[in-house]
Amino acid sequence: MSGKGRIRQTLAVSAVLVAALFLLPLVSAVSFHWERKTPPDAPREEAEPFVSGVRDGAETLRVLKGDTVEEMDLGTYLVGVVRAEMPASFEPEALKAQAVAARTYTLYQLRSGGRHGDTADICTDPTCCQAYQEEAAARQGWGDAADEYEQKIESAVRDTDGEVILYDDAPILAVFHSASAGLTRPAGKVWSGDLPYLQAVASPEEGDAIPNYYSRTEFSLEEVRSRVLSALPEADLSGDAAEWLQNDVRDAAGSIETVEVGGVAVRGSRLRSILGLRSACFTWEVGEDTLIFFVTGYGHGVGMSQYGAQQMAREGSSYREILTHYYTGVTLGPWEGDGAE
Ligand SMILES: [Zn+2]
C-alpha cells in the first residue's frame, strides 16, 4: 500500500469513527423512542401523567380549589377546564377551540390581575372563573369511553400549545356559553361594556339535537313577585299579572335586550338571572295563578357557542375558523407573555 493509500484509509476510518460518534446517540435515541411507543392496539396505561406542551408547561398558575391553592402548569389546568366545560364526545376541532378559548380567558385574567388578588390566579368555580374537573372524577362520568375521552382532551390542549386569541396583540376576554338562540349577543347588551371582538354573529347550533335547548319554567305568581321584588323593590306588581312584563325589546334571534318588569326597565340578562332562566331568549304566558317561561338556548350568549362550535366542526371547520367566526376581528397566535408588550 502506498503512503497516499494509507492516508486515504486512515481518513476513511476516521470518517467512520466521527460519523459513529454523531450517529450513535441518534440511533440510541431512536431505539429508545421505539421502545417507549405504545403499540396502537395496546390499552393505554391508566393515570399516565399528562405532559404539557412547551409553552403551556412554562406557565405556572396558582389555582384556587375551594379553600386551597394548588400550583400547576397552564396545560394541566386547561385539561381540567376542558374536561369540565365541554362534552368530551364533541369533535376534536371543537375541543381544540374550547382549549384555546380557555387558555386565552386564563391569560386575560392573569394579565388583568384576575378576581382573586394575591391569593390565586384563577379559581375552579364556574360562576366565578372557569369550571375544572380532576381526571378521576371525569373518568367516572365517562365510563368505558374514559381512555378515549381523556386522550381527546389532552390532545386538544397539547396540539394548541401556547396558542391564544389576540386582539390588538393581547389575549381577549374569551367568554363562551353552551348554546345560543341562533345568534350570539354583543357584550354591551348583556354586561356593562362593549368589546369590539364580542359582537353578535350567526351561530349554527341545531336546537333539536341539543338537550334542553328548549326549556319551560313555571312559577307561581307569588314566587315571581317575591323574586322580582327582592331584586327590584321599586317594581309595581300589584296589578294584573298579564301586565307585569311589558315592552320587551328583542334582537333578531328573540333574545331580550330590555323589558319592563312592573314598570322598571331592566336588561333581559338581568331578568334571566333574577328568575334563574337558562337564557335571556324567552317568551312567557300567564296561566292559572302561574307565569310560564319558554326559553331557547343556554348561557349568556356572548362569545363562542359551544354547540355552535360543535356544529361548525361537524361541517368541517377547523378550530381556527370556529374561533375567528365567534370572536370578531381577532387573530390567533402564540402567547408571548407580558415581556412582548
Ligand atoms: Zn374565580
Boundaries of every domain in the chain: 54-205+301-340, 214-296
- What is the block-wise mean pLDDT of the chain (341 residues), using blocks of 10 residues? 47 43 40 41 61 94 96 97 98 98 96 94 95 96 97 98 97 97 96 95 95 97 98 96 97 96 97 97 96 97 98 98 98 74 38
From ligand 1's centre to the CA of 103, what distance in Å? 15
Q: How far is the CA of 55 from the centre of ligand 1 (A)?
A: 23
Ligand 1 midpoint to CA 107 (Å):
13
Q: How far is the CA of 102 from the centre of ligand 1 (A)?
A: 13
Is the separation of the CB atoms in 194 and 187 below 8 Å? Answer: yes
d(CA 115, ligand 1 centre) in Å: 6
Ligand 1 center to residue 174 CA distance, Å?
Answer: 15
CA of 149 to the centre of ligand 1 (A): 26
Contacts of 336 (CB under 8 A, 6+ apart): none
Q: How far is the CA of 108 from the centre of ligand 1 (A)?
A: 13
Phi (first) and psi of residue 294, to 5 degrees:
-110, 115
Task: Tell me the CA–centroid distance for residue 227 and ligand 1, in Å.
Answer: 26
C-alpha 65 – ligand 1 centre gap (Å):
9
Neighbouring residues of the ion ligand 1, judged by CB less than 5 Å: 115, 123, 128-129
Assigned C-alpha cell, 14: 476516521
What is the reported pLDDT for 48? Answer: 72
Q: Which pLDDT does position 336 carry in this prediction?
A: 77
- How far apart are the CA of 133 and the centre of ligand 1, in A? 15
Q: Check: CB of residue 229 under 8 Å from CB of residue 235.
A: yes
Residue of 227, 297, 305, 240 lying closest to 266 (CA atoms): 227
CA 127 / ligand 1 centre spacing (Å) = 8
Q: 130 C-alpha to center of ligand 1: Å?
A: 7
CA–CA distance, 149 with 281 (Å, rounded to integer) = 32
Going from the Cα of 109 to the center of ligand 1, the distance in angstroms, rounded, reads: 9
Q: How far is the CA of 189 from the centre of ligand 1 (A)?
A: 23
Please name which of 226, 239, 248, 241 lies closest in space to residue 287, comparing C-alpha atoms: 241
Q: What is the pTM of this model?
A: 0.83
Query: How far is ligand 1, taken at its centre, from the CA of residue 81, in Å?
Result: 13
